Amino acid sequence: MSFEININNTQVEVHEGETLLNVMRKNGIKIPTLCYMAGFTPSGACRLCVVEVEGKRDLITSCTYPVEEGMVVKTNSSRVIKARKSLVEMLLANHPDDCLYCERNGNCELQWLAEELNVKERKYFSRKNTDKRDHSSPSVYRDPAKCILCNRCVRVCEEVQLVTAIEFVYRGNKTKVNSAFNKGLNVSSCINCGQCIMVCPTGALVDISHIERVQAILDNPGKETVAMLSPAFVASIAEQAGIKNTDNPAGLITAALYKIGFKKVYDMSVASDLNIVLEASILKERMEKNHSTPLLSSCCPAWIKYAEEFTPDILPDISEAKSPQQLMGRIVKYHLHKETESDKLYTVGFMPCVANKYEASREENTLKGISETDAVITVREFLRMLRSSGISLSRMEAENPLPPLENNSRAGFQMAYSGGKAEAVAMQLNLLLNGKNPSGFKFIPPKNPGSKREVKVKIGKHEFGFAWVSGIMEAQNYLDQLKHDQRTDIHYVEVMACAGGCVGGGGQPVSYFNAREKAKLRKKTSQELEKLPANTIAGQNNDLATYLSANEKNAGSKSFHTNFHQRNVLK
Amino acid sequence: MDKQLLSIFEMFPNRQRDDLIPMLHKIQDQFGFLSEDFIIEVGSYLDISVNKIFGVATFYDNFRFGPRGKYHIRLCHGTACHVAGATTILAELEKQLKIKSGETDKSGLFSLEVVSCIGACGLAPLIEINDEYHTSLSVESVKIILDQYRENHNNDYDE
C-alpha cells in the first residue's frame, strides 16, 4: 500500500513499512547518521537521524520509525539542528582533540558532522578515556579513546563475518568495544579482514601502518627494496586516481615507486597465474582420486584464518597452494636472486588488503627465519605515500614493471573480484585436461543477481561445478548447505572473506557511504584491465611453464605449497 | 572438564541462548566467580561466542571475574549514602586497598563491591564486610576498620 507524506513541505509518495530514513534518503534529503548501516536492522543508537514530526512531542529517530499516513515531517528545523548539534557536542565531550595526528584526519564522519553543525568549542568536559590502545594485531590497530560506540564494527564482525572478535563490554558510561576478556586482538578470533576499519566512522579502528618501516628501509643502502604489485591493487589505484586502462596504470605506479625510491618493481600477475595453475592441478588430482568434497580456494588469508579457527575439519579441503603474495615473495627472494642475497632483499607487497600484513608474518611463510614478504602497503597507505612524496600519477612517464616472467595472463585481474578466480581455475583446468587448444570453452556466470553463484561446465568427459562466495557469512552458509544437501556436483569453491572480493577489501580507501558503488567501480576497472594481456589462461604463460618445470627439479614444487593448522583462540 | 561444571551443564540440556544467564548464575553460586576457562566452556557448550558472553556478563554488576577476598566489602551507594559522602569513602577504600570496585587485592584478603541501597539509610554512609555492618563512616574510620580486619586475620593465622 502506498500513500503520501509531507517532508519539508513537499508531498512524497511512500510505501507502507518503509522507514522514514529510507524514504528521505531515496528522495535525496540528507540526514546525518553514525550508527545506521544499509542492509542491517536499525539500532537507533546514535540518534543523529532525529527529525521533527508534527503532533509528536519528542523528536523521533527516523532510522527506526516506519512511515505513517498523513505524516508531516521537518528534517532541518532549528529544533532538529540544535538537537543534532548537542548530540555531536556530547560525543566530543571525551573525544581526544588530536585530529591533526589522527589517521582519519579529513576523512572522519565525526569531524565532518562537527564542521557541518558549526561546533566551535568544547561545550562539555568529561573524563578522558585512558583505555589501553591495542597494538597487538598484525593488521588492525584499535584506539578506544576515539570510539563513539556506534556499533558498526561490532555488527560487521558478528553479522557479516561471523567472527565476533569485538563486542560491547561493561555498561552505561563504562561501555566500550573490546575483545574477549579485554585481551588484545591477537589472541581473539579476529581474522584480520579489516572490514571493521572500512565501517569505522572515526579513527578508532585503523590499519597497522607499514609506511614508516618501508621508508626506513628505502634509505638503507645495504638493503634492496623490491615492490611487488598486485593486479587488484593496480586496478584500485587506477580507479581511485582516475587513470584510464589505456594509459597503463601499472606502468605509472611503477614509475612512481621508482621515484619514491624502490630499487626494483615486479608485477605480481605471474604469481597469480602460478597460484591458479597450482590450484587447477590440485583440483585435477582430487578428481582422479574421486574426492566428494569440493576444493576450497586458499588465496584469501582472512578466510584461511577463519577456517583454522572455526571450521578446522574443512582444512584438508583447502588448496595448499600459497597465495599470490607469498608465491611472489618466494620467487623474488629465492628464484630471481641467489639465496645468499635473500636477507638483503626487502620485499614489499602492494595489496588492497590488511590481512596480507598478517599473512606475511605467518611462520609458514618464512624460510630459515626470513620472511617471503617483509612489509605490505595497502591502497590507502600508497595513496598517502604518493601525496607525501608530491607525486602525481597522471604526470608520470609509464615504466613497465620488471617482467620476471613475461606474458602474464588476465588471471591476476580476475582474482580481484568474487567469481573471477573460479573462472580462471576452470579455464586452466580445461587447458590441463583438453590440451593445448581449448577452443569453444565458455564460463558464463548467472546474470540474475539473486541466483546461486554456480557454474557447471563440461570439461572432457566430466561435468565440473564451480562456485564462488564472498563474505564469511555467505561462505559458511553455502558450505553448510552443500554439506546438508550432500551435494557432490560442486568441485571448486572460491572463497573471499570480504564482500565482493578484494575490490571490497579492508585495505581499500575508506568511503563508507558509497562503499558498494566504489567496489563495483573497482570491479569494472579490473574487468577492463584484464582485456589487456594477450593470454587468457594462466597456464598459457610459456615462461611460467618452463619456470615451473625447472623449479620442480631444483627445489621440488613443495616450495609453492603451504600448510594450515587448527588454531585455538578465544572464539 | 570440572565435574561440578559438568553437573551444571547437565541442568541445561536444551543448549539454548536463553540458558546463558541462569547458567552463569549457577556457576557463580558454585565457584564464587566466573573464570575465563568457565566462560570458554560455556561458550562451546551453548555455541555462543566467548566475547558475547563476556559482554553479557560484564553488563551485569552481579557477575564477578575473580575470586572474592577473605573479607568481602560491600559499599552502599544508594541515594542517602551518596548524599552522605559514599563517593569519598569509596575513594578512600580504593586508595587503602589499592584496588578498584569489583576487584580483589593482591593478598586476597579484601575484595570490594559497590552495591545499591542496603536499606540502612539512617546510618549512612556504611559498608558491609562479611555480613557485619560498619556505619556512619568517615574517611578516618575506614583505615581503622580495615586495620582491625587485618589484625583479625593475623590472629587467625597465629592460632
Q: What's the CATH number where A172 sits?
A: 3.30.70.20
Report which of A139, A108, A145, A142 is spatially closest to residue A126, judged by C-alpha positions. Answer: A145
Contact A169 B54 (CB under 8 A): yes
Does any CB of chain B come closer than 8 Å to the CB of residue A409?
no
DSSP A159: I
Cβ-based contacts of A181 with chain B (< 8 Å) = 36, 39, 50, 54
Confidence band, pLDDT 50/70/90 cuts, at residue B14: very high
Specify the pairing of strand A454-459 against strand B71-76.
unpaired
Pairwise CA distance, residues A191 & B79, whole Å = 46
Residues A353 and A469 in one domain: yes
Contacts of A508 (CB under 8 A, 6+ apart): A198, A236, A352, A378, A379, A380, A518, A519, A522
Does residue A74 lie in a domain region? Answer: yes
Residue in the block written with cell 565482493: A500
Alpha carbon of A155: minimum distance to chain B alpha carbons (Å): 12
Q: Nearest by CB to A170, from B36, B50, B58: name it.
A: B58
A563: left (phi over 0), alpha (psi -120 to 50) or beta: beta
Predicted pLDDT of residue A555: 53
Contact B51 A168 (CB under 8 A): no
Contact B60 A171 (CB under 8 A): yes
Residues A302 and A417 in one domain: yes
Cβ-based contacts of B43 with chain A (< 8 Å) = 571
Pairwise CA distance, residues A314 & B127, whole Å = 56
- As a 3-state breakdown, chain B gives helix, strand, coil percent values, each rounded to 5, of 55, 10, 35
Residue in the block written with cell 611462520: A363
Does any CB of chain B come closer than 8 Å to the CB of residue A571?
yes
Does any CB of chain B come closer than 8 Å to the CB of residue A165?
yes
Alpha carbon of A62: minimum distance to chain B alpha carbons (Å): 28
Report which of A325, A361, A299, A302 is spatially closest to residue A498, judged by C-alpha positions. Answer: A302
Q: What does the CA dihedral A244, A250, A256, A262 come to, rounded to 10 degrees?
A: 170
Contact A167 B54 (CB under 8 A): yes
Contact B52 A167 (CB under 8 A): yes
Residues A229 and A194 in one domain: no
Cβ-based contacts of B103 with chain A (< 8 Å) = none
Closest alpha carbon within chain A to B63: A170
Specify the pairing of strand B110-115 against strand B71-76.
parallel
Identify the residue among A168, A182, A188, A476 best suited for mutation to test binding to B, counting B beta carbons within 10 A and taking the highest: A168
Residues A368 and A256 in one domain: yes
Closest alpha carbon within chain B to A180: B51
Alpha carbon of A257: minimum distance to chain B alpha carbons (Å): 42
Contact A164 B49 (CB under 8 A): yes
If one counts every other C-beta atom within 10 angstroms of the C-beta of residue A385, the result is 17
Does any CB of chain A come closer than 8 Å to the CB of residue B85?
no
Report which of A300, A317, A341 is spatially closest to residue A501, judged by C-alpha positions. Answer: A300
Beta strands, E only, A421-477: 454-459, 462-470
Residues A427 and A288 in one domain: yes
Cβ-based contacts of A188 with chain B (< 8 Å) = 51
Alpha carbon of A306: minimum distance to chain B alpha carbons (Å): 14
Specify the pairing of strand A370-371 against strand A366-367.
antiparallel
Identify the residue among B39, B53, B54, B65 best suited for mutation to test binding to A, counting A beta carbons within 10 A and taking the highest: B54
If one counts every other C-beta atom within 10 angstroms of the C-beta of residue A11, the result is 8
Are the C-beta atoms of residues A163 and A120 closer than 8 Å to each other?
no
Q: Where are the domains of chain B?
A: 3-59, 71-158
Pairwise CA distance, residues A182 & A291, whole Å = 43
At B112 the three-state DSSP class reads strand
Does any CB of chain B come closer than 8 Å to the CB of residue A180?
yes
Predicted pLDDT of residue A569: 85
Does any CB of chain A come closer than 8 Å to the CB of residue B59?
yes
Does any CB of chain B come closer than 8 Å to the CB of residue A568?
no
Torsion sign (Cα): A10, A11, A13, A17: positive
Does any CB of chain B come closer than 8 Å to the CB of residue A166?
yes
Does any CB of chain B come closer than 8 Å to the CB of residue A161?
no
Four-way CATH pick for B71-158: 3.40.30.10, 3.40.50.720, 3.40.50.1220, 3.40.50.300: 3.40.30.10
CA atoms within 13 A on the CB side of A93: 12
Cβ-based contacts of B54 with chain A (< 8 Å) = 167, 169, 180-181
Closest alpha carbon within chain A to B40: A570
Residues A421 and A530 in one domain: yes
CA atoms within 13 A on the CB side of A550: 9
For B:97-156, CB contacts with A below 8 A are: none
If one counts every other C-beta atom within 10 angstroms of the C-beta of residue A262, the result is 20
Alpha carbon of B153: minimum distance to chain A alpha carbons (Å): 32
Residues A14 and A69 in one domain: yes
DSSP A128: P
Does residue A454 lie in a domain region? Answer: yes
Alpha carbon of A181: minimum distance to chain B alpha carbons (Å): 7
Does any CB of chain B come closer than 8 Å to the CB of residue A181?
yes
Instruction: Tell me which of A208, A240, A261 is where a domain ends.
Output: A208
Predicted pLDDT of residue A192: 95
Alpha carbon of A569: minimum distance to chain B alpha carbons (Å): 10
Cβ-based contacts of B39 with chain A (< 8 Å) = 181
Residues A85 and A167 in one domain: no
Alpha carbon of B86: minimum distance to chain A alpha carbons (Å): 19
Pairwise CA distance, residues A29 & A84, whole Å = 16
Predicted pLDDT of residue A537: 83
Pairwise CA distance, residues A149 & A144, whole Å = 9
Mean pLDDT of all residues in B41-58: 93
R_g of chain B computed on alpha carbons: 18
- In terms of Cβ atoms closer than 10 Å to its own Cβ (0-12, 13-18, 19+), residue A540 is buried
Residues A412 and A359 in one domain: yes
Predicted pLDDT of residue A257: 95
Identify the residue among B40, B58, B65 best suited for mutation to test binding to A, counting A beta carbons within 10 A and taking the highest: B58
Residues A300 and A236 in one domain: yes
Does any CB of chain A come closer than 8 Å to the CB of residue B157?
no
At A433 the three-state DSSP class reads helix
Pairwise CA distance, residues A175 & A154, whole Å = 13
DSSP A431: H
pTM: 0.90
Contact B51 A171 (CB under 8 A): no
Instruction: Tell me which of A183, A208, A233 is where a domain ends.
Output: A208
Closest alpha carbon within chain A to B34: A181
Contact B59 A189 (CB under 8 A): no
Contact A180 B51 (CB under 8 A): yes
Instruction: Tell me which of A208, A230, A245 is where a domain ends.
Output: A208
Cβ-based contacts of B36 with chain A (< 8 Å) = 181
Alpha carbon of B4: minimum distance to chain A alpha carbons (Å): 23
Are the C-beta atoms of residues A21 and A33 closer than 8 Å to each other?
yes
If one counts every other C-beta atom within 10 angstroms of the C-beta of residue B41, the result is 19
Instruction: Give the cell for residue A172.
Output: 552505561
Res. B159: pLDDT tops 80: no
H/E stretch holding A50 reads strand A50-53
Instruction: Give the cell for residue A234.
Output: 593496480
Does residue A470 lie in a domain region? Answer: yes
Does residue A287 lie in a domain region? Answer: yes
H/E stretch holding A378 reads strand A375-378
How many domains in chain A? 3
Specify the pairing of strand B132-134 against strand A492-496.
unpaired
| Three-class secondary structure assignment of B23-72 | HHHHHHHHHCCCCHHHHHHHHHHHCCCHHHHHHHHHHCCCCCCCCCCCEE
Alpha carbon of B73: minimum distance to chain A alpha carbons (Å): 21
Cβ-based contacts of B58 with chain A (< 8 Å) = 169-171
At A332 the three-state DSSP class reads helix
Q: Nearest by CB to B51, from A164, A170, A171: name it.
A: A164
**Domain hosting residue A520, numbered range:** 213-560
Does residue A102 lie in a domain region? Answer: no
R_g of chain A computed on alpha carbons: 25
Successive 10-residue mean pLDDT values, chain A, 571 residues = 92 92 92 91 91 94 93 94 96 92 93 95 90 93 94 93 93 90 91 95 95 92 91 93 88 94 90 90 89 91 95 93 91 82 89 95 86 94 94 88 74 90 90 73 77 83 89 94 91 93 93 89 90 80 73 64 88 82
Pairwise CA distance, residues B66 & B140, whole Å = 29
Closest alpha carbon within chain B to A190: B51
Q: Nearest by CB to B51, from A167, A170, A171: name it.
A: A167
